């Protein structure tokens, strides 16, 4: 098998080590003799998004989001075609906000979203930024998994009909919120940096499997030794719970 990944705006949207997600995907594929090819796509670069099993956009601050949203909005049809063609889409923070209706920042500036989903994001000066470690109970197509990460966003994302998970500790979509992220079976958006995949190997494999199913039937992934990853995750959980006290 071969997995083709398109890392969009790799040179602009790469906050808090989001590139680590790509490293993890590479390692977990290669350890199983699955070929992996990672291509990048910057502003104005021509790519056919449907050619890829997985499309990834990392997080970015307001300034970065402002730089590229027009390029992204121009690709709306191509993105819809890729989703139709069963490409899997993974979006972190600023990337996640882009797929909703809009993002209004602290200076009341509106950054247009793709408008593919109903959710929208607004800064709220009356609440603090959502910053810190976060733990959620995610629902991966019916399988409940504890997922840990780090969040830092001023944007409050509302009107999410299908969240990625339920917040155990931290904020999530809104300040002191109950739910985190968005997931509809094909597109996964989350505020979890950290980066997401190194401490959450179950999520990494889930994404690899979903992405490969675009082309291959009954994908089974050979189990890997995740002792270290799960230890890191447990250490983070313990620290969070100790703080909560």
Of 194, 205, 213, nearest to 31 by C-alpha is 205
Contact between 93 and ligand GLN (CB under 6 A)?
Answer: yes
Separation CA 145–CA 139 (nearest Å) = 6
Q: Judged by CB, which is closer to ligand GLN: 15, or 196?
A: 15
Residue 19 in marked binding region: no
Nearest distance from residue 188's CB to ligand GLN, in Å?
Answer: 15
Nearest distance from residue 65's CB to ligand GLN, in Å?
Answer: 6
Strands 88-92 and 54-57: parallel
For 1-69, what is the HEC assignment?
Answer: CEEEEEEECCCCCCCCCCHHHHHHHHHHHHCCCCEEEEEEECCCCCCCHHHCCEEEECCCCHHHHHHHH
Contact between 14 and ligand GLN (CB under 6 A)?
Answer: no
Nearest distance from residue 225's CB to ligand GLN, in Å?
Answer: 32
Q: 33's torsion region: left (phi>0), alpha (psi -120 to 50) or beta? A: left
**Contact pattern for ligand GLN over residues 167 through 206, marking x by CB under 6 A:** ----------------------------------------
Contact between 100 and ligand GLN (CB under 6 A)?
Answer: no
- Active site (annotated) includes residue 29: no
Residues 189 and 163: beta-carbon distance below 8 Å: no
Q: Within 10 A of 237 (CB to CB), how many other CB atoms are there?
A: 17
**Contact pattern for ligand GLN over residues 147 through 166, marking x by CB under 6 A:** -----xxxx-----------
> 29, 93, 130, 171: which one is catalytic?
93
- Active site (annotated) includes residue 153: no
Scanning residues 38 to 77, which ones bind ligand GLN (CB under 6 A)?
59-62, 65
Q: Which residues bind ligand GLN (CB under 6 A)?
A: 15, 59-62, 65, 93-94, 152-155
């Amino acid at each position: 098998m071969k997995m083709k990944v398109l890392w969009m705006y790799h040179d602009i949207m790469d906050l808090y080590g989001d590139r680590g997600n790509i490293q993890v995907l590479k390692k977990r594929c290669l350890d199983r003799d699955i070929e992996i090819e990672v291509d990048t796509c910057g502003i104005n670069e021509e790519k056919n998004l449907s050619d890829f099993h997985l499309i990834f956009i990392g997080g970015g601050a307001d300034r970065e989001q402002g730089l590229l949203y027009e390029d992204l909005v121009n690709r709306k049809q191509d993105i819809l075609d890729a989703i139709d063609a069963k490409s899997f889409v993974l979006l972190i923070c600023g990337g996640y906000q882009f797929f909703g209706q809009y993002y209004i920042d602290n200076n009341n500036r509106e950054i247009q979203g793709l408008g593919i989903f109903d959710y929208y994001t607004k800064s709220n000066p009356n609440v603090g930024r959502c910053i810190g470690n976060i733990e959620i109970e995610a629902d991966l197509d019916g399988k409940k998994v504890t997922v840990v990460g780090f969040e830092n966003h001023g944007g409050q994302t509302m009107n999410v009909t299908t969240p990625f998970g339920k917040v155990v500790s931290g904020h999530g979509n809104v300040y002191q919120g109950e739910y985190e992220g968005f997931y509809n079976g094909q597109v996964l958006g989350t505020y979890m940096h950290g980066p997401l995949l190194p401490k959450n190997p179950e999520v990494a494999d889930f994404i690899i499997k979903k992405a490969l199913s675009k082309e291959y039937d009954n994908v089974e992934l050979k189990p890997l030794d995740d002792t270290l990853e799960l230890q890191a995750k447990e250490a983070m959980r313990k620290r969070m719970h100790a703080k909560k006290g």
